[in-house]
Structure 1
Amino acid sequence: MADNGKIAKSVIANIGGSENVENAWHCVTRLRFNLADKDKVDLDAIKNTTGVMGAQFSGDQFQVIIGNSVDDVFNEVEQRLGGTGSAKSSPAADGKKESLVSKLMDIISGIFTPILPALAGTGLIKGVLALLVTLNWMSDKGSWYQVLYMISDSVFYFLPFFVAVSAARKFKTSEFLGLSIAGVLLYPTMVNAYNTVSGGGKVAPIKLFGILNVPYVNYTSSVIPIILAIWLLTYVYRWVKKWMPDTITMMFTPMVTLIIVVPITLVVLGPLGSYVGTGLATGISWLFVHAGPLAGLILGATFPLIVMTGMHYAFVPIIMNNFTVLGYDTTVSPINFITNVAQAGSVFAVAVRSKNKETRQLAISSGISALLGITEPAMYGINLKKKKPFYAALAAGGIAGAFVSFFGVRAYAMSGLSGLTALPVYISATNPMNLLWLVVGIVMSFILAFIFTLVVGFEDDEVKTATVAEKSATPTKTIGGVSILAPVQGQIEALDQVNDPTFAQGIMGKGMAIIPENGDVVAPISGSITVLPDTKHAIGITGDDGTELLIHVGIDTVELHGQYFEPAVKVNEHVEAGQALLHFDLAQIKAAGYDPTVMIIVTNSADFTDVLPMNESGIIYPNEQLLMGIR
């Protein structure tokens, strides 16, 4: 299992350190960064970090592909960055110009990614409610329905508030002033007046300066008007703050800013954003109605490529806008769904055909993940590496995309992940065939990708088999297991007692700890040195029998950067059990304030039935049996 803390530490170190990070956030599978200086990134080092699936620049945004554990890794990243809500400099502070398209994509991604979980959760509730009502398992007049519907509709109805906060963070301005503007757009005066006018009634107009009419526009569930308003707020707030005296700026800068921004929003930006949104939704809908199969074919065959660049989040405002204007999305949501399933079909075909056990295991797990809507493990772990399965998935996605577009399949709510758990958002009491056509498209996409992959084939990973000579050279194992000796002299301690959660919780594997009495470290098994970092505080050994061991000297001693450590071996060197590996200055390490406890970890513990300590306590000496790995 990958160590999230180590992943975060490696990523931050190899993107130029925390001082090079202007902004950081994450989506479902990726860490995303805005960096002050892109030239400081060591791309190869990040890609070679255990637990990282890939890394790339997408425009001026740097992305590190993690997979399902991205949330846990981001928590570690955020702790090390000390918070990511404010940038240290503007994106153009280094004098480099961003392209307009790149900047726009970065803004869209940064605004909408943080609010997707709320939209996904409430959207799925709305889908489940539709299913329950359709099956007559719940009445749409009952109390439970009303409560659940309020939950499901709350985020979407009050979407300008959520977008205001996210946009303010992205534009680096006051979140609370942003909320104030959103509050004006959704104030009962505006909402009630719009409802009255749209129902054919009359309402007294609001006139500014006696000449400027404030149009009554429906801003519930809207996204473009509030983004434009927050964008204006950013510049006005900075401008006012420049000339406002420091003694009164706390009170009067917000006041003057709102007096300027709100009227401009109500008269110009709000209506403009609303009209743009309506036109955009109508235009896209027209395209899919009149050229549906062709549009679906093109988008279905290219959507995984868009996902690879990380720019699929640019479609989020289009999807939201479609829900606001049309009440459904018949464009991106269904296409995203069937292309995810196509990736699963290809990767399951790899699992069926591959003769390599590890490849099969990875293919099955990543295939299940793809069916649930997370395709990066399947794409980066299997399909892209083998190329032909990826091409098969593109072809299947294009064909199935044309099919669902031809039948006008619609998503009626935001689902977050486009996988099997999102099926409820395609249920409609007035359009019962909608779900059926989607299911047909899903099955078509999976089967086509599966068959195409089997037909075109792929280069399988080599299956390593031991020769007769290798088998005869395997050391004798004691009582059906692997004997692991003590590498240092000292007091035995249970691993769960060490003052490091990573080791104590067994995240790295099973093992034991020794509180050392001197600084001499010897090999606990015979094998090859596979790990010896520049900091020299740890040594990894792969035994001749396949046992993988990590000897880690001290807690947080990596911070010593190799001081007080003298290795006696090199990477790839073969050592015999009992051979000297390392010497460390125990007194100096203690004097520097570090815990010198030595951890001995079987990092491939999963390959053993169990790893048992031979003694629970007491003094142990080098070359005495410490652990027994039972196969």
Structure 2
Amino acid sequence: MTAPAPDAHHETATALLPLVGGAANVTSVAHCMTRLRLGLRDRALVQDEALRAHPAVLGVVEDDTTYQIVLGPGTVARVTPAFEALLTSAGEPGTGDPSDLSPGDLSPHDLSARGEAIKAARKERNATPGKLLLRRLANIFVPLIPALIGCGVIAGLNGLLVNLHWLPALTPALTAIASGFMALIAVFVGLNTAKEFGGTPILGGAVAAIVVYAGVAKVEAFGQQLSPGQGGVLGALAAAVLAVHVEKWCRRHVPEALDVLLTPTVTVLVAGLVTVYGLMYAAGEVSGAIGTAADWLLVHAGAVAGFVLGGLFLPLVMLGLHQALIPIHTTLIEQQGHTVLLPILAMAGAGQVGAAAAVYVRLRHHTGLRRTIKSALPAGLLGVGEPLIYGVSLPLGRPFVTACVGGAFGGGFVGLFHMLGVTVGSTAIGPSGWALFPLLDGEQGLAVTTVAVYAGGLLTGYAAGFAATYLFGLDEATLTAAPAP
């Protein structure tokens, strides 16, 4: 498929800005893998119906702090700069006039509105210190995902070339390209952590760099010689958080005339000593325990563990708890070269696709809803599940549960083969669905069996999600309700 021209991305940004209330209503702009994340002064100024109807918009997600417009991978990275450029021009605020919901109405707009109502009801429950901490963790690690994906794809290509004994002169260079970022990922975690917690990013990066510095091998802590990289991203995260607290203390107590000299010195010295003589060892123990636990769980209870993880992932996403898994994935990738959890969790998206397909088949006369599903299914196959979740399964209720059933069976399939010795992992986080194929890895590398097991899991998830939804996912009232005009 041909990528949209740059002018098309500018046109999309130009169309979206007035629909969110104009430049004066936007307080912040950021983006992740698939979503344009906006901070808004007045949520009521958003024209929800017109925004959802825009052809570039795949869905809308709202949390406690941001209004998130789902544009899809690739597109969002190109629309965001154009959107930011438009914010220099003043815009007239839009006006929102949401339609009242009518129970039993199955129009795509009202299904989306019902999904928004469900999310709004959860909003107060989700605004807890724990959830805010998880969101901060996501803000630290999500910006690293593009580099993880790029390096992961290159690592997969390099592994394929090595296995085929092709281009032996090129593979050492590809190894360096793919591995360079992972060798220094602790530094980037330190930079982002300090920025997120209100410190000076470069000081967080300086302290985190200690974790990967080769010279720490000469240091002894707790009766052991430290090793470069010990503690990994968790050690870097803890070191940077400590650096922020030390820096803030210095800003309050150090005289202004001496601040430029003493504050960075004291911050790096104190946080660095604690990192070397405490945090690296402690974080190393935690990181090792994470890897051991993941391997033990899948080797000894792979099918059951996969069933549970695949079935619970969609609810975890709805509650925002999936963000706690990002550091775990990153730690496993840093330790083992891949995370064995992501391919299992990706099965939740397969269950979602199967459930949506069953709704499409059963509700033959609801052309509007079928049109929504038809437009959202390609994104769902590529792992972008928000349009199907918030536009179809969650508002309808039962299909969300049966989608979880599909994810459980898909996860159980992948977990079962892990017990049989076929490890399926991912060299990066972010993509799922079909988009995960280039990132697959395992103990045998990117082997035919690795790809086959992951593909079998997707097919199992599709089939189980479809069957569960077709048989149990739609009640009589939904099946007999007249379609909205």
Which TM-score applies when normalising by structure 1?
0.59
Task: Specify the SS of the correspondent of 2:431.
Answer: coil
Cα distance, 1:133 vs. partner? 3.4
Equivalent of 1:271 in 272, 275, 281: 281
Cα distance, 1:341 vs. partner? 1.9
- Contact 1:237 1:257 (8 Å CA) reproduced: yes
- Contact 2:358 2:470 (8 Å CA) reproduced: yes
- Contact 2:347 2:457 (8 Å CA) reproduced: yes
Distance 1:289 1:4, change over 3 A: same
Structure 2 equivalent of residue 343 of structure 1: 352
Where do 5+ consecutive residues of structure 1 fail to align? 83-96, 194-204, 466-631
Task: Specify the SS of the correspondent of 1:248.
Answer: helix
- Contact 1:8 1:76 (8 Å CA) reproduced: no
Structure 2 equivalent of residue 468 of structure 1: none
1:110 and 2:120 aligned: no
Q: Residues of 1 paired with 2:280 and 2:318: CA distance?
A: 34
- Contact 1:160 1:221 (8 Å CA) reproduced: no
Cα distance, 1:417 vs. partner? 0.5
1:145 and 2:171 aligned: yes
Cα distance, 1:114 vs. partner? 1.0
Structure 2 equivalent of residue 623 of structure 1: none
Q: How do 1:230-379 residues align onto structure 2 when only pairs under 5 Å count? A: 230-331=240-341, 333-353=342-362, 354-379=364-389
Amino acid at match of 2:444: T
- Contact 1:298 1:398 (8 Å CA) reproduced: yes
Where do 5+ consecutive residues of structure 2 fail to align? 1-7, 89-125
Structure 2 equivalent of residue 183 of structure 1: 209
Task: Specify the SS of the correspondent of 1:64.
Answer: strand
Q: Residues of 2 paired with 1:291 and 1:279: CA distance?
A: 17
- Contact 2:310 2:404 (8 Å CA) reproduced: yes
Task: Specify the SS of the correspondent of 2:425.
Answer: coil
- Contact 1:123 1:415 (8 Å CA) reproduced: no
- Contact 1:296 1:404 (8 Å CA) reproduced: yes
Task: Specify the SS of the correspondent of 1:281.
Answer: helix
- Contact 1:126 1:149 (8 Å CA) reproduced: yes
Distance 1:154 1:8, change over 3 A: farther
Task: Specify the SS of the correspondent of 2:460.
Answer: helix
Equivalent of 2:467 in 437, 440, 451: 451
1:50 and 2:51 aligned: yes
Cα distance, 1:212 vs. partner? 8.8
Q: How do 1:59-138 residues align onto structure 2 when only pairs under 5 Å count? A: 61-62=65-66, 64-68=68-72, 70-71=76-77, 74-75=80-81, 78=84, 99-134=128-163, 136=164, 138=166
Equivalent of 2:13 in 4, 22, 26: 4
Task: Specify the SS of the correspondent of 2:174.
Answer: helix
Task: Specify the SS of the correspondent of 2:227.
Answer: coil
Amino acid at match of 1:179: G
Equivalent of 2:431 in 417, 422, 430: 417
- Contact 1:401 1:441 (8 Å CA) reproduced: yes
- Contact 1:300 1:399 (8 Å CA) reproduced: yes
- Contact 2:382 2:433 (8 Å CA) reproduced: yes
Q: How do 1:435-584 residues align onto structure 2 when only pairs under 5 Å count? A: 435-456=451-472, 458=474, 459=478
- Larger of the two Rg values belongs to structure: 1
Cα distance, 1:27 vs. partner? 2.5
Cα distance, 1:267 vs. partner? 0.8
Cα distance, 1:113 vs. partner? 1.0
Structure 1 equivalent of residue 102 of structure 2: none
CA RMSD of aligned residues (A): 3.5
Amino acid at match of 2:68: V
Task: Give CA deviations for 1:160-210 in whole Å, capped at 9, x if unaligned.
Answer: 1221221122112111112222333322323xx3xxxxxxxxxxx447xxx
Q: Residues of 2 paired with 1:386 and 1:98: CA distance?
A: 25
Task: Specify the SS of the correspondent of 1:219.
Answer: coil
Task: Give CA deviations for 1:280-306 in whole Å, capped at 9, x if unaligned.
Answer: 222233233333222222221121122
Task: Give CA deviations for 1:497-545 in whole Å, capped at 9, x if unaligned.
Answer: xxxxxxxxxxxxxxxxxxxxxxxxxxxxxxxxxxxxxxxxxxxxxxxxx
Amino acid at match of 2:457: G
Task: Specify the SS of the correspondent of 1:223.
Answer: helix
- Contact 2:207 2:243 (8 Å CA) reproduced: no
Distance 1:328 1:303, change over 3 A: same
- Contact 1:54 1:65 (8 Å CA) reproduced: yes
Q: Residues of 1 paired with 2:347 and 2:399: CA distance?
A: 16
Structure showing greater relative contact order (alpha-carbon pairs closer than 8 Å, 6 or more residues apart): 2
Q: Residues of 2 paired with 1:418 and 1:411: CA distance?
A: 12
More strand by share: 1
Distance 1:221 1:426, change over 3 A: farther
Q: Residues of 1 paired with 2:183 and 2:165: CA distance?
A: 26
Structure 1 equivalent of residue 405 of structure 2: 395
Cα distance, 1:334 vs. partner? 1.4
- Contact 2:230 2:281 (8 Å CA) reproduced: no
- Matched residue count: 421
- Contact 1:28 1:374 (8 Å CA) reproduced: no
Task: Specify the SS of the correspondent of 1:50.
Answer: helix
Distance 1:405 1:418, change over 3 A: same
Amino acid at match of 1:138: W
Q: Residues of 1 paired with 2:80 and 2:322: CA distance?
A: 20
Amino acid at match of 2:198: K
Amino acid at match of 2:141: F
Task: Specify the SS of the correspondent of 2:68.
Answer: strand
